[in-house]
Amino acid sequence: MQILIVGAGIAGLAMYRALSLRGVKATIVERSNFAGVGGAALFLPGNAMRALGELGLAQPVLDRSHPILHQRFCNERGRQYNVVDTEDFWREVGACRSIKRSMLWDLLRTCVPQEDIQYRRVVDVSLNSDGCRVSYADGEFGTYDLVIGADGVDSTLRDIAFPEAAPPAYVGNVCWRYLVPNTCELKDWTVMLAANRSLLGIPMSNSELYVYADLTVDRANIEHYSTATPLETLFRDVAGPLLPALTMSADANVHFSELVRLQMTTSYRNRIVLIGDAAHASPPSMAQGAGMALEDAIVLAQELTVDEDIPNALARFEKRRKPRVEWVHRQGSARDKMRRLPGPVRSALLRFAGQRLYEKAYRPLKAPI
């Protein structure tokens, strides 16, 4: 079976790893020489760590990541609404960890021989009697039995193979992400929530902290924000214990982006399938971007090795994955709506029902993939 994976991000590298563990060889093409750069850091809930275990990478990740034993939810003044014991909740699934995105990418990248990654850009894909004919920007082409799109939210393959699909939709928020020294000595995942803003700190180690900030912005006003936006001015009154980290943002390497959501009716067509953010990107409120991509890779590899009927394997893959992905989208939307409730309502909801809401949102993800 000749398989092409488009994209060498976390989803594409995980796809290669999942296939190789089942004795299936693939080739990766990547349009950028900087696929492993950016994104700052990731929070990996238990289901993501379980998936990494199935890829044989649990111990390397544990060795290079930081434990997250509690998640603390606070109001805009830093007063705690509730705290979730993540170690206890995810105990039978996997540990919750924080890790630099570049570190996870490096671990996955070491699983791929250099000769199996080509840096070139796909410009067209067509079906013929032999499978998929892929044309490249350099004028060459190749023929494959299956093409897997793992090229992210701005997927070229999605544009080519699913021209009728709606583009990713802006959800009304922009965000900033950066790493700074952990001078505020934060020990737990900690978020301050306001109606139109949130500020999150995740310790990457005892000495380093990941900071995520988002703001509700009308589309017409997005142009007024960028990596150069003074974050201390915007978020000082909701910083709580993160004020020292917020103050250091002016000297940090800040990543700025719009938050979008992508929900496709179907993620496969004939011998082409999309995984990860190329198929179902969502805002980070559920912290499931990496987890869903890793799970996609494992399930698709399983189905492709059940039999050699690729269209049937893709249909089974979608049947297994769609309910889980849609659940993440629904729960993420519900969390975003809750944040926009009037302050007293939001406060009461999180203070008295926060634990139950957390358990409801994540319990289905504890089930096997």
Q: Kind of pairing, strands 3-6 and 41-44?
A: unpaired
Residue intervals of the chain classified under CATH 3.50.50.60 are: 3-168+262-366
Retrieve residue 309's tokens. Answer: 């009927």
Residue 207 has pLDDT above 80, yes or no: yes
This prediction has a pTM of 0.95
pLDDT at 58 > cutoff 80: yes
Domain with CATH 3.30.9.30 in the chain: 169-260
Confidence of residue 128 (pLDDT cuts 50, 70, 90): confident
The per-residue pLDDT for range 258-267, each reduced to its tens digit, is 999 999 999 9
- pLDDT tens-digit map of 27-55: 999 998 877 777 699 999 999 999 999 99
pLDDT surpassing 90 at residue 341: no
Topology classification of domain 3-168+262-366: FAD/NAD(P)-binding domain (3.50.50)
Q: What's the mean pLDDT in 280-292?
A: 96
> What is the structure's pLDDT at 290?
97
CB atoms within 10 A of CB 63: 8
pLDDT at residue number 35: 76
The arrangement of secondary structure in 169-260, i.e. its CATH architecture, is: 2-Layer Sandwich (3.30)
- Work out the pLDDT band at 308, boundaries 50, 70, 90: confident
CA gyration radius for the chain? 21
Coil, strand or helix: which one is 72?
Answer: strand
Farthest CA pair distance, the chain = 64
Decide if pLDDT at 343 tops 90.
Answer: no
